[in-house]
Every structure is written in structure tokens, then in C-alpha cells.
Amino acid sequence: MSAESIKLELMVWIGELTDKVLLNKIYLFKKKVEKPSPAKRQPGWGKDIFLYVAPDFDDTPDGFSDYMPA
């Protein structure tokens, strides 16, 4: 069966449906497919993203010493 004939058959079948529960399930499935949920974050996924960090990264920039606690 070709993709076009499957699409046509599904459109006709959905058009003839009267069961609201089934129609809601189809609608929710469509919405889920259109916008997939983002992948869940996992600890360690950012490993090796930063390949270089300057040696003075933690140093206070010039002119900011007045704002630092004593």
C-alpha cells in the first residue's frame, strides 16, 4: 500500500469517527508528535563542553575590588 493511499484511508476513517474518546486520543497523539518533549537533563552531560578555561578565571577583575567583601 502506498503512503498516499494510507493517508487517504486514515482521513476517511477519522472523518467517520464518532467516538470522542478515540478522537481525543488521536488528537493528543498528533500534538505529541508535532512537538516532542525535550530530553531530560542528566548529570554529566556537560562534561568536556569547555575545553579551555583561563588560569585567571576566578581572579577578581581590575576595578572590582571595591565591591568585594573585606
Q: How many domains does the chain have?
A: 1
**pTM over 0.85, yes/no:** no
What's the pLDDT score for residue 47?
87
- How much is the pLDDT for 38? 81
Tell me which residue range forms the domain holding 59: 3-67
Q: How far apart are CA 68 and CA 70, in angstroms?
A: 6
The C-alpha cell at 54 is 583561563
CA distance 59 to 48: 23
Q: How far is 25 from 32, CA to CA, in rounded Å? A: 10
Q: How many Å separate Cα 33 from the centre of its chain?
A: 12
Q: What is the pLDDT of residues 9-54, one digit of tens each?
A: 989 998 998 999 999 999 998 888 888 778 888 898 888 888 898 9
pLDDT at 4: 93
